Amino acid sequence: MIEDDKLDAETPADDVESAAETPAKRPPRFGLISAVVLTAASVFGAAAVLGGLWLSGSWDGPSDDDPAESVDGFLTALLKDHDAKDAQSYLCQTLSGDLSGVLQEIDSMGKQDNGAVEFSWSHLKVAGKSAGSAVVTADVSVNVTAETATWTFALVTGDPDDAWRVCGVETGDAKRS
């Protein structure tokens, strides 16, 4: 028979249970080091992407150099991408208004004609340019009506920055294509 004092001795099964309860020891500051490494990698990755966009000329937003580029960006944001917030970024600060109403009107035009309204534009031309203002024209067509009109855009710089920003649009008489 087994004596009681031998039962009090530790058995190998007890060692396994106590080892499972003890967490594995990690080097000190493992979480801090990981956070620093991940942050540095993220910052480097973001800088590489932004630098690539800048070098390739794909940086979005109003152009500092060419007012026609700003008009093209505005038309793309509003009429192609249907992004009122992005289109608003091409407008001068003194021109106020919510462009989402314009997008709702475009959508309602499509519903009336049982199809999507698609715009296209061509012949962007700087018609006049001075130190802080420019006039750009573009031929804008809409697929629903098959009409083309020359739109005239007034642009300024210095409102609020040195980028060319749309401060007015005049749509011309439409002509059937």
* pLDDT number for residue 4: 52
Mean pLDDT (the chain, rounded): 76
Tokens, residue 146: 């098959």
Q: How far is CA 177 from CA 28, 140, 148, in A?
A: 74, 11, 7
Q: How far apart are CA 102 and CA 110, in angstroms?
A: 13
* pLDDT number for residue 23: 60
Q: What's the topology of domain 67-176?
A: Nuclear Transport Factor 2; Chain: A, (3.10.450)
The neighbouring-strand residues paired with 87 are: none
Tokens, residue 43: 């910052």
> What is the per-residue pLDDT across 17-48, written as a single tens digit (0 to 9) for each?
555 555 666 555 666 666 666 666 666 555 55
Q: How far apart are CA 120 and CA 79, in angstroms?
A: 8
Q: What stretch of H or E contains 140?
A: strand 133-142
Q: Where are the domains of the chain?
A: 4-56, 67-176
Q: How far is CA 132 from CA 62, 74, 161, 167, 170, in A?
A: 14, 19, 11, 12, 19
Residue 91: DSSP 8-state = B
> What is the per-residue pLDDT across 155-168, written as a single tens digit (0 to 9) for each?
999 887 889 999 99
Say which residues have a Cβ less than 8 Å from residue 142's Cβ, sequence separation at least 6.
117, 118, 119
pLDDT band at 122 (very low <50, low <70, confident <90, very high): very high
Q: List b or e across 98-130, with b for residues whose CB sees 16 or more CB atoms inside 10 angstroms.
A: ebeeebeebeeeeeeeeeebeeebeebebeeee
